[in-house]
């Protein structure tokens, strides 16, 4: 199966290594120092279950790779517009595109049903570029749980020993294409399932982002160090509880409570990806990850004062660093 990873940063590099180990005919779209490093030494993935070094086909221009059986997009949300404009040469007539992204995704209301059917998420897809170019019929959702960093170009470091990936179709069907991709990831050593309630999984992952992202951006510390402070832990608990209430109001009740999520996160000595972006000077996903759920809380009459405060402060921090606006 020909699979292309579009964007091999920390998460993309990890997923690329798993696909290669699972037997995929792998290619990667990359650029700059990351591309140069992989051209020289291959992609190196350092993981708790063993290191991997793979040599996929590499290109900065997708036209050099040609049509794929599947594409997995692992860029941050602000880069999705540029991905949509470049991805065309990778797409055959039936090529699915998996979006392993955080936040409320651009495809959220595709095959949603009810009065919100076809509604857009402008924070995740300004100008409907992704919707109109790639289209919801190709989209497969992806929720990844994997603490990863990129310590140097061409290297993905997996911090967590309990990584997992959840795939799902917007129409909640258990499609052959999603099952086939899940099998490749599992063969590569990454637990991967196909959910028939992908929006619940979107909210479940978003709760993790809510409890760590705003607070860690504000104090520049890891989740473990942040949650060691009782006052910060209490704020994180309230953020999760507000997120659970928003998800419930959206018709997507997430199993479990705040306490178990806080307890799990408190043992992770890792900086969340949005803090990594701030420190590296990359565009931050404030809009899609945090301002969308806040907007949805307001639309559904769900009180979310802690989310409102922390998102406002985080947005100010991102704006002060020149990293708030989405990438072109």
As annotated, the active-site residues are 205
Indicate left, alpha or beta for 175 from its phi (over 0: left) and psi (-120 to 50: alpha).
beta
**C-alpha–C-alpha distance, residues 233 and 266, integer Å:** 9
Which of 75, 62, 21 minimizes the C-alpha distance to 187? 21
| Interior angle at CA 143, CA 142 and CA 145, nearest 5 | 140
The residue written with tokens 């637990």 in the block is 191
Cβ atoms within 10 A of the Cβ of 215, count?
Answer: 25
**C-alpha–C-alpha distance, residues 121 and 128, integer Å:** 8
Q: What contacts 24+ positions apart, CB below 8 Å, involve 226-233?
A: 227/262, 227/265, 227/266, 228/266, 233/262, 233/266
**C-alpha–C-alpha distance, residues 267 and 228, integer Å:** 9
Task: Decide: 47 and 36 in contact? Cβ < 8 Å.
Answer: no
Task: Decide: 206 and 104 in contact? Cβ < 8 Å.
Answer: yes
**C-alpha–C-alpha distance, residues 167 and 165, integer Å:** 7
Sequence-separated (6 or more) residues with CB below 8 Å from residue 178: 96, 140, 167, 168, 169, 194
Task: Decide: 139 and 125 in contact? Cβ < 8 Å.
Answer: no
SS3 10: helix
**C-alpha–C-alpha distance, residues 53 and 91, integer Å:** 27
């Amino acid at each position: 199966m020909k699979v292309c990873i579009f964007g091999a940063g920390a998460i993309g590099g990890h997923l690329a290594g798993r696909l290669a180990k699972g037997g995929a005919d792998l290619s990667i779209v990359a650029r700059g120092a990351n591309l140069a490093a992989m051209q020289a030494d291959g992609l190196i993935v350092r993981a708790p279950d063993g290191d991997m070094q793979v040599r996929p086909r590499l290109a900065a221009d997708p036209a050099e790779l040609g049509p794929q059986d599947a594409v997995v997009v692992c860029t941050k949300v602000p880069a999705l517009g540029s991905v949509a404009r470049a991805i065309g040469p990778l797409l055959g007539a039936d090529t699915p595109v998996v979006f392993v992204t955080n936040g409320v995704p651009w495809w959220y209301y595709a095959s949603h049903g009810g009065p919100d059917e076809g509604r857009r998420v402008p924070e995740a897809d300004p100008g409907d570029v992704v919707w109109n170019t790639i289209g919801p019929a190709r989209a497969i959702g992806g929720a990844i749980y994997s603490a990863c960093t990129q310590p140097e170009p061409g290297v993905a470091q997996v911090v967590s020993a309990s990584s997992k990936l959840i795939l799902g179709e917007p129409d909640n069907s258990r499609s052959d294409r999603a099952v086939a991709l899940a099998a490749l990831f599992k063969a590569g050593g990454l637990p991967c399932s196909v959910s028939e309630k992908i929006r619940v999984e979107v909210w479940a992952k978003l709760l993790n982002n809510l409890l760590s992202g705003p607070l860690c951006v504000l104090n520049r510390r890891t989740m473990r160090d942040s949650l060691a402070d009782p006052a910060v832990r209490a704020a994180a608990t309230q953020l999760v509880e507000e997120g659970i209430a928003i998800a419930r109001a959206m018709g997507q009740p997430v199993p479990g409570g705040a306490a178990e999520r806080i307890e799990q996160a408190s043992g992770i000595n890792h900086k969340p990806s949005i803090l990594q972006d701030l420190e590296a000077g990359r565009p931050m996903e404030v809009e899609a990850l945090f301002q969308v759920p806040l907007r949805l809380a307001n639309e559904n009459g769900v009180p979310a004062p802690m989310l409102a405060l922390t998102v406002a402060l985080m947005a100010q921090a991102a704006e002060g660093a020149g990293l708030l606006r989405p990438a072109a």
